[in-house]
Amino acid sequence: MPDSATELLERPADEGAGSEIAAAEPDELVAADLLVEEISIDGMCGVY
């Protein structure tokens, strides 16, 4: 996982996941974005 993603996970929930997003969305959407982050692992696990 890239360092930036790791840094995002390590942040407290009240810190931003991107100020450009915060400027574009209503406050509650931004807060929800901070509470839940989703990724798909398809394509990341080629060898078991």
Partner 1 sequence: MSISSPLADFDLDAAWRLHPQVSVRPERFGALLYHFGTRRLSFLKSPALLTVVRSLESEPSARSACSRAGIGASDLPAYTRALARLADSQMICGRSAA
For partner 1, the binding residues (CB under 8 A) are 9-13, 21, 24-25, 28-29, 31-32, 34-42
Is 27 exposed, middle or buried (CB count within 10 Å of its CB: 0-12, 13-18, 19+)? Answer: exposed
CB of residue 11 vs partner 1: minimum separation in angstroms?
Answer: 8
CA quadruple 43, 16, 36, 13: dihedral sign: positive
Q: How far is the CB of 28 from partner 1 (least distance, A)?
A: 4
Least separation in angstroms between residue 19's CB and partner 1 is: 14
Q: Which is nearer to partner 1, 2 or 12 (CB)?
A: 12
Contact 22, 16 (CB under 8 A): yes
